[in-house]
Amino acid sequence: MKNKKGLIALSSIVGVCALGLILSTLVDWPVDNNKTSGDIGKSTRFSRKTAVEPVSNMEELLLNDAEYKNGMVCAYVVMQTRAQQFSSLVDLSNEVAGDIPAYENVLDEMNKVYVTVNNVCASLERAGENINATLSGEKRPELAQNSMNASLAYIALQKQNKLATEFIDVTDKYVQSTQADDRLLFVRDQWVDYQLMTAALGGDQKSAAALEKKGALLEAEKSAATLGAFEASQQLSLINSANLANTLGVESSLSAVASSLNASFILDNALSSPEIMNSFSAVSESLNAAVAGDALQANTCSYLNSMIDAASLGGRPIIVP
């Protein structure tokens, strides 16, 4: 089972694409009504305020309850993807704005939480490895506790989303009087994408509308070109996030780029490290093995958010009739 290690490590774009194949027709909100079917109504089965059913044996549920297993796997895909996206964007924010006085305060605040962000990513990776090992037949006594800890860490990280909004606002003010570099505009747009997913998962249509009004400052073609200016691991993190956004029907400045990418592109253009390459293969194989053949009929944005909330309490969301 060596190749199945690190299920939710999420350094693989193929992992998110596999999720996309299952969830692409099950979008909750926000969506383009011209591109969707009646599946949106399924989201009403779940309460926005999560009611939780305690889980006494997580291992048994993962092995014997397909809906719970799929929901848990996909919830960790969402959490790990977003945590890695946040971490990458803090790095990129420092890279593109570190010498600009207007950004001193927001970068200082971001750097204060950077260690915490990386600890969240590590916690999620440990939990994902435990889930993967359990699905492979191994006994992991720390499974339930690590899963709770990781979900709680992710929820705590969401309290720092205000930093994304602050970076966006500083940039929007900065460009009113200064000709900004495309790389700075790109990072600003990626923070907008991050917050659009935050709004979608939280069902916050007001915030989504405000973010959509702000829009992207770079055209799609320039965004695609600018992406290539950054390190491979950062590119991969942002592409993973764009694919997740595509999967859940959330607007993304890299939507067209992510849709056109495939495994061969990533292998030829992004994965230069043997370590990344090995993780790429293992993660994609593991995720496909975990979810293939199981229709995730309920896994919309609202359900995934409820699953994350419930996991932090050691339970599962209660379905509302």
pLDDT digits (tens, 9 = 90+) for 118-173: 999 999 988 888 888 888 899 999 999 999 999 999 999 999 999 999 999 999 99
Per-residue pLDDT in tens (0 to 9) along the chain, 321 residues: 433 333 333 333 334 333 433 333 222 222 232 332 222 223 333 334 567 887 888 999 999 988 888 888 888 888 988 999 999 999 999 999 999 999 999 999 999 999 999 999 999 988 888 888 888 899 999 999 999 999 999 999 999 999 999 999 999 999 999 999 999 999 999 999 999 999 999 989 999 999 999 999 999 889 988 998 999 888 888 988 888 887 777 889 988 776 665 433 443 443 344 443 344 333 334 433 334 323 323 357 777 788 888 888 888 887 655
DSSP state of 314: T
- Give the pLDDT confidence score for residue 99 in this predicted structure: 96
Domain ranges in the chain are 2-317
- Give the pLDDT confidence score for residue 268 in this predicted structure: 44
**Pairwise CA distance, residues 301 & 227, whole Å:** 27
- Give the pLDDT confidence score for residue 73 in this predicted structure: 82
Residue 219 to residues 143, 169, 201, 210, Cα–Cα distance (Å):
44, 19, 26, 19
CB within 8 A of 165, min separation 6: which ones? 191, 195
Q: Model-level pTM greater than 0.85?
A: no
Instruction: Return the exposure string of 121-159: e unless at least 16 CB atoms fall within 10 Å of the residue's CB, then b.
Output: bebbbbbbbbbbbbbbeeebeebbebbbbbbbbbeebbe
